[in-house]
Amino acid sequence: MKKRSDGGLVFSTEQGRMCPDCRNPVSACTCRQATRPAGDGVVRVSRETKGRKGKGVTLVTGIPLDEPALKALAKVLKAKCGTGGTVKDGVVEIQGDQREILVPLLQAEGWTVKRAGG
């Protein structure tokens, strides 16, 4: 049987979703810091059209940064490419085929960069 102390507030009308462990809003959760596996240390730049009605996007994976720094880097990359994009699950998506622009920019940051895919 489950103990009564295991339950807790999971949603608040004032703050939205709540973390069941630290009882803070999910946006200000202190127990689950955004830790990403280190990976193999290689930043991969690829192009993908799957699920986008034929429109291509450039995916940048393996960047060893936390979520706020990753969003800031994505903003810089989008500005350099002159296109839009987003960050989803630790992957930076840049609209269009921008591999030729992104590879030198990421190498200038000091990372090992590989072009992945076709």
How far is it, in rounded angstroms, from Cα 50 to Cα 114? 21
Does this model's pTM top 0.75? My answer is: no
Domain 42-115 in CATH 3.30.780.10: yes
In the chain, ranges of CATH 3.30.780.10 domains: 42-115
Mean pLDDT to the nearest integer, 28-56:
77
Predicted confidence at residue 36, as pLDDT, reads: 53
Task: Dump pLDDT digits (tens) for 72-102.
Answer: 999 999 999 999 999 998 899 999 999 999 9
Task: Dump pLDDT digits (tens) for 2-22.
Answer: 555 556 666 767 777 877 777
Calculate the average pLDDT of the chain: 82
Q: CA-CA distances (angstroms) from residue 57 to 40, 62, 103? A: 23, 16, 15
